[in-house]
C-alpha cells in the first residue's frame, strides 16, 4: 500500500509540473506566432521595397509635413484642421500635394495586391496549388480596397479645400496603406478557408457603408454648385437624418471589409477609425461648421440631434 501511495503521489507531482510547463510553452508559442506574423508582414515588399522601410520613410515625411503645414492651434483631427478647410487650392504646391496623395492611394492598392497574390503565384510555381485555383477571398479583398481608394479619389473631386502635407504622408502614406496591407494579410492567411455567410454579410456592409459616404456627399456637392446656395449650410438628404452620416458610413464600410477578410483581428481598423472619428473628427468639423455657418448651425443642431450613429448618437 505504501508503495502504491508513493506511485500516486509521484504521478500527481508530475501532472502538476507538466501543467505550468504546458502553459508556459503555449504562451511562448502564441508570442512566437505573433512575432513570426509581424515579421512576415513587415518583410513583404512592394516594387522591391520592404514595407518596414516604406512606412519608416512615411513617418519621417509626416513629421516634416507637420512642420511645413504650420498648424495654427485651432480645432484639429490631425489629418485635417479648420485652417486647412478654410484654404482653397490654387498654388502649384497645392496641386503637387493633391496628386501625390492620389499616387500614394494607388500605391496602397498595389501593396495590398502584392500581399494578396504574390504568395499564391509562388505556390503555383512550386505546384503546391492548382493553377486553376480561383482565389475568391483575395479578389473580394482587392475589390474592396480598390473601391475604397476610388471612392476617396471621387471625394477629392468634390473638395475645394487644400490637401495638407500631413494628409498626404500620414493618411495616404501610413494609415491607408497599413490598413489595406493588414486586410490583405488577413485574407491571404485564410486562403484555404471557404467563403461563408460572414464574408457575404461583410461585402454587403461594405457596399452599404460606401453608399452612406458617397451619396450624401454627392448630393451636397450638387447643391453647393447652385450659386443661390452660396454661404448656406446643406441640411438635406441623409444629412437631415444624421449630421455626420458619412462618418458612420466610413466606419461601417470597414467593419464589412474586415469581415470579408475572415481575419477577426482586422476589426482593429474600424475600431480605431470609429474612435478617431468620434473623439477628433466630429468635434473638429463641428467647430468649423458652427463658425462658417453660424446663422444655420444652431437651428440645424436642434432639428438634427443625432451626430454620427443614426438614431443612437
pLDDT per residue over 214-255, tens digit each? 999 999 999 999 999 988 999 999 999 999 999 999 999 999
pLDDT per residue over 167-208, tens digit each? 999 999 999 999 999 999 999 888 777 889 999 999 999 999
Burial class, 312, CB count within 10 angstroms (exposed 0-12 / middle 13-18 / buried 19+): exposed
Among 118, 198, 106, 194, CA closest to 152: 106
* Residue in the structure block whose three cell numbers are 512592394: 46
Distance CA 269, CA 178 (A): 10
The string of DSSP letters for 92-125 reads HHHHHHHHHHHHHHHHHHHHHHHHHHHHHHHHHH
**Single pTM value for the model:** 0.82
Weakly modelled stretches of the chain, pLDDT under 70: 1-40, 42, 119-134
Amino acid at each position: 500500500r505504501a508503495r502504491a501511495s508513493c506511485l500516486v503521489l509521484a504521478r500527481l507531482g508530475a501532472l502538476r509540473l507538466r501543467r505550468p510547463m504546458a502553459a508556459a510553452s503555449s504562451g511562448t508559442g502564441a508570442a512566437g506566432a505573433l512575432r513570426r506574423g509581424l515579421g512576415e508582414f513587415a518583410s513583404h515588399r512592394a516594387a522591391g521595397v520592404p514595407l518596414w522601410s516604406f512606412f519608416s520613410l512615411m513617418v519621417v515625411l509626416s513629421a516634416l509635413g507637420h512642420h511645413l503645414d504650420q498648424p495654427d492651434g485651432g480645432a484639429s483631427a490631425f489629418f485635417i484642421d479648420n485652417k486647412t478647410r478654410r484654404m482653397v487650392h490654387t498654388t502649384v504646391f497645392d496641386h503637387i500635394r493633391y496628386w501625390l496623395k492620389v499616387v500614394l492611394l494607388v500605391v496602397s492598392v498595389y501593396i495590398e495586391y502584392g500581399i494578396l497574390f504574390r504568395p499564391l503565384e509562388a505556390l503555383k510555381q512550386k505546384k503546391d496549388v492548382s493553377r486553376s485555383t480561383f482565389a475568391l477571398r483575395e479578389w473580394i479583398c482587392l475589390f474592396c480596397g480598390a473601391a475604397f481608394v476610388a471612392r476617396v479619389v471621387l471625394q477629392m473631386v468634390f473638395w475645394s479645400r487644400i490637401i495638407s502635407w500631413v494628409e498626404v504622408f500620414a493618411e495616404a502614406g501610413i494609415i491607408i496603406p497599413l490598413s489595406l496591407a493588414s486586410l490583405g494579410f488577413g485574407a491571404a492567411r485564410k486562403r484555404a478557408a471557404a467563403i461563408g455567410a460572414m464574408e457575404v454579410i461583410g461585402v454587403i456592409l461594405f457596399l452599404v457603408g460606401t453608399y452612406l459616404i458617397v451619396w450624401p456627399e454627392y448630393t451636397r456637392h450638387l447643391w453647393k454648385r447652385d450659386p443661390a446656395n452660396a454661404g448656406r449650410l446643406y441640411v438635406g438628404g441623409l444629412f437631415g437624418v444624421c449630421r455626420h452620416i458619412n462618418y458612420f458610413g466610413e466606419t461601417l464600410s470597414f467593419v464589412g471589409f474586415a469581415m470579408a477578410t475572415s481575419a477577426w483581428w482586422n476589426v482593429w481598423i474600424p475600431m480605431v477609425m470609429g474612435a478617431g472619428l468620434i473623439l477628433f473628427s466630429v468635434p473638429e468639423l463641428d467647430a468649423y461648421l458652427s463658425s462658417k455657418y453660424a446663422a444655420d448651425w444652431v437651428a440645424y443642431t436642434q432639428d438634427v440631434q443625432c451626430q454620427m450613429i443614426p438614431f443612437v448618437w
